[in-house]
Amino acid sequence: METPVIETSNLKIEVLPNLEALSHRAASFFVAASGNSIATKKRFAVAISGGFTPRGLYKLLGSVPYRDQVNWQHVHFFWVDERCVPKDHEKSNFKAAWDSFLSSIPIPDGNIQRIRGEEEPEKAAVDYEEDIKKYFGISELPVFDLIILGMGEDGHTASLFPGSKLLKETIRLAVPVYLPKPTCNRITLTFPILNNAAQILFLVAGRSKASILSEILGDREKKKRFPAGLINPVHGYMTWLIDQEAVERLRGLKY
């Protein structure tokens, strides 16, 4: 198996044998990205996602040897999206990250900028946007050093879903996502700030993602139907890490 499958000036696609190998590759990527950023800017601002696929990565980051290769004092965590639930709720993306690795690493409390999902959605979104602006301390659009994304079986990423009017948001950095009950409402970052990242790391695993992934990576027009296909860094670099099951229907790359 050759890896990367494709590489251009701002895109790299790698295929890994399985989710375990993907997770180790992602952990190595995180270590290298954090080291480079801290060496040049004295900090590493990263926004992470929830979902099943990234959990292997997070568990690795909280364990040896990866845990000891990161200068956690200079790492600052944000979230790509969050469900509107308390931080100790079983569906909380914050709780998933905390249980997987944040509780196991020597990171200052002030370096963790969670979305306060227990608040009313609009207030939580406004407060989170203000937290981001305060951290970066600039009037221009903030640039995360790394954003880690996943992809759902319907092609959604973050909490940006197919057909949503939020796909056209151009001003706000964080918005509430109101969903039919019993699904939890959510808060999500928007395309302007997602596409402004210095690096984007997509993690996609599983046969259930194969059909959508083949359209996103295999057809320039069809990919626009899906939120994950609308991720296109303005000035940054995007890396897709895909396991063998997710890539099984991909025959040609026309990204």
Tell me the average pLDDT across 94-121. Answer: 98
Closest CA to 119 of 214, 203, 187: 187
Does the domain spanning 6-243 belong to CATH 3.40.50.300?
no
- For residue 151 the two structure tokens come to 């992809």
Tell whether the model's pLDDT for residue 239 goes beyond 90.
yes
Please give the Cα distance from 212 to 217 (Å, whole number): 9
pLDDT tens digits along 39-87: 999 999 999 999 999 999 999 999 999 999 999 999 999 999 999 999 9
Tell whether the model's pLDDT for residue 248 goes beyond 60.
yes
pLDDT of residue 255: 44
* Residue spans per domain, the chain: 6-243
**Percentage helix, strand, coil, to 5, in the chain?**
35, 20, 45
pLDDT of residue 1: 44
Tell whether the model's pLDDT for residue 238 goes beyond 60.
yes
41-53 in b/e form (b: 16+ CB < 10 A) is eebbbbbbbbbeb
Q: What is the mean pLDDT of the chain?
A: 94
Beta carbons within 8 Å of 9's beta carbon, 6+ residues apart: none
pLDDT of residue 107: 98
pLDDT of residue 123: 98
Tell whether the model's pLDDT for residue 207 goes beyond 50.
yes
